[in-house]
Amino acid sequence: MSIAYVFPGQGSQFPGMGLELCKRYPLAKRLFDQADEVLGFPLSESMFHGSDEDLVATRVTQPALFLYAYAAYQCMAELPPAMVAGHSLGEFTALAVSGAVTFEEALQLVLQRAEAMYQCCLQCSSGMQAVLKFDIQKVEEICQDITDEVVVANYNSPQQVVISGTMAGLQLAIERLKAAGARFIIPLKVGGAFHSPLMKPAQQLLADAIRKTSFQQPVCPIYQNVTAQPSQDPDTIRHNLLDQIDHPVLWTQSVRNMIRDGADFFVEVGPGNTLQNLIKRTDTKVITKSIFDFKV
């Protein structure tokens, strides 16, 4: 059995996130306390006692999801990974648990990423829409034909992609997709056009922090969003992490490549089961579980 640990991104947060984990595991409590100190604000309080609205704030959401998944892995993972991957924000968790960056450095990068993306989102009205059960090549063609900035930002499964762009571009894309026969188009609750060229200013804001971070060789290959290929080279990891901000998430391709390289058991580490569902839609033969399935 070859185990791949996978880490979800933004959108799976929930009020009270991490409270039970900290009650059950002293290590989790230490990590949450350490995170509050590193960040300089009480993230744990927002996670434990904040509302849905509090957790939606990008400055809270991204470090909260990183911290929750990282702590869950450290407390509950019993078998070492053969490989790791993370969806969007989850890539930072994958890097931290594999030893490519330290917990503290990853946490600081996640906060800087969240703040850079938030500042970028203030510059124009933009968003993201999921397109389900429709020909992906046709989605790409429609986006390419639109002058306003709109691109395919997430390749989540063979049946789901996400488009990202200005509100005007998205509206035009939706009209053309519906005219072409698309029936399931769902707006996402995000602050802007993530993983699109509109995030270029955020990439520039984050570039210096990523360059100054000390990357090490991870203990196992990490399949990064930008290439969907395995890497253990620190310079390659650094370059791909920076490109991730304004490039599409190749999740379907990453899952297929992990299966090609031997993964037959995927463990999702984080809240919800989003990645498990996407993986099963990509390959029905592999086993998928949540890390919380293994402990009571």
Side-chain half-sphere CA neighbours of 77 within 13 A: 23
Q: Cα 73 to chain center, whole Å?
A: 16
Distance between the two ends of the chain, CA-based, in angstroms? 23
Q: Do 215 and 237 contact (CB within 8 A), yes or no?
A: yes
Q: Cα 286 to chain center, whole Å?
A: 21
| DSSP secondary structure string for all residues of 49-81 | H--HHHHHSHHHHHHHHHHHHHHHHHHH--S--
The continuous run of DSSP H or E covering 163 comes out as strand 160-166
Give the β-pairing of 3-7 and 83-86.
parallel
17's CB contacts (< 8 A; 6+ apart) are 47, 48, 55, 64, 68, 271
- Tell me which of 44, 46, 88, 157 is the catalytic residue: 88
Q: Do 176 and 142 contact (CB within 8 A), yes or no?
A: yes
Q: Confirm whether 88 is a catalytic residue.
A: yes
Instruction: Give how far Cα 218 sits from Cα of 43, 84, 186, 206, Å.
Output: 27, 10, 37, 22
Answer left, alpha or beta for residue 153, where phi above 0 means left and psi between -120 and 50 means alpha: alpha
Q: Confirm whether 195 is a catalytic residue.
A: yes
Q: Cα 180 to chain center, whole Å?
A: 30
- Tell me which of 44, 126, 164, 195 is the catalytic residue: 195
What sign does the CA torsion over 63, 69, 72, 76 have? negative
- Annotated catalytic sites, by residue? 88, 195
